[in-house]
Amino acid sequence: MLDFVQALIDGILYGTTYALIGIGFTLVFGVMHKINMAYASASIGAAYVALVVGGLVAGASAWLVFGLSFLLGGLFGLLVYLICFHLIPLGNENATLMSTIGMLLLVDELIAHATQGMPQNYPSTAFGEEMVRMGELSVRGDLIFVFAVSVVAMGALLALLYRTRMGLATRAVAQQPVAAQLCGIQVVKVNALTFVITGLLGGIAGALVCSAVGTLSILITGPLTVKGLIVTVIGGLGSVPGAIVAGLLVGGLENVVLYLRGVTERDLYVMLLMFAFLVFRPNGIFARGAGRD
């Protein structure tokens, strides 16, 4: 029983990274009604470049690398926007989707070649050594760190969305792009900014994921993309709170299934959960129920 709770807690803490990735997908969908398939890859890409640059500059201290990853994430986000969305007429759904898929492949290959396919050691903060003990349970310090950073990031994002003018403009564009333009909101700026912001989040998420696991490997991007999308679907496309809850849910479920049934069934159950939502609750966790109209 205790191990079960332990697994659950660890999973939920780790699940905050899924929440961040899910937020990234869902926010872009909310504002532009498009999916940026390259999101998770770009995030890991930012983490990797941060590692390299951090290593060159100052011996890859964890904080430096995390900070760089954060900034680079924003930069990469902007690049993805410019290449995949700005240059292609937004009305053409297939074209923009395919271009982000192309970007996904491109970034993956770049990382694979740069790392020669070898996993790289990723720094973690000193928290990794700490263990917080609560009775019989022990929680890894670095997981708490991951959790804390993610919560701060999510909080910052929510504050941005709901308490600033920029956030207001973003939500306006998400709801009524044409009317927003007519009110003088520069949709292009909002779109680009959305990518930068989600990119910043992604940079953090990528760094956190790699530090929690201890390595950065090209094998992470695929499953991370799929999981991020699953979280997005379960949370409801466009719902940031939904993505947060769904991320924790998926993280917790995943770890619990891992503990109970082993690795192979873990992914299966997560996928089944997603399909269950698709069938019974396609609008996500916070959907207001199926309204046919």
Q: How far is the CB of 83 from other proteins (least distance, A)?
A: 6
Single out the residue of 58, 6, 41, 59 nearest to residue 199, CA to CA: 41
Residues 268-287 touching other proteins, rule: CB under 8 A, are 268, 271, 274-275, 278-279, 282
Those residues whose C-beta lies under 8 Å from the C-beta of residue 113, and which sit 6 or more positions away, are none
Number of residues in contact with other proteins, rule: CB under 8 A? 46
Structure tokens at 5: 């709770």
Residue 100 to residue 248: CA distance in whole angstroms = 26
Residue 43 to residue 70: CA distance in whole angstroms = 9
Those residues whose C-beta lies under 8 Å from the C-beta of residue 272, and which sit 6 or more positions away, are none
Which CB atom, from 37 or from 173, has the smaller least distance to other proteins? 37
Alpha carbon dihedral 20, 21, 23, 27, in 10-degree steps, equals 140
Is residue 110 within the footprint of other proteins (CB under 8 A)?
A: yes
Which CB atom, from 113 or from 189, has the smaller least distance to other proteins? 113
Interface mask (CB under 8 A) for other proteins, residues 20-39, using x and -? ---------x---xxx----
Is residue 292 within the footprint of other proteins (CB under 8 A)?
A: yes
Is residue 116 within the footprint of other proteins (CB under 8 A)?
A: no
Which CB atom, from 38 or from 169, has the smaller least distance to other proteins? 38
Q: How far is the CB of 29 from other proteins (least distance, A)?
A: 7
Is residue 88 within the footprint of other proteins (CB under 8 A)?
A: yes
Alpha-helical regions (H) of the chain: 2-32, 39-58, 62-80, 93-114, 141-163, 165-175, 177-182, 187-213, 221-235, 240-261, 263-280
Instruction: Find the binder of other proteins among 20, 60, 233, 258 (CB under 8 A).
Output: 233
Which whole-number Å values give the CA distances from 207 to 8, 198, 274, in the listed order?
A: 22, 14, 26
Binding site for other proteins (CB under 8 A): 29, 33-35, 83-84, 87-89, 92-99, 101-110, 113, 222, 226, 229-230, 232-233, 237, 264, 267-268, 271, 274-275, 278-279, 282, 292-293
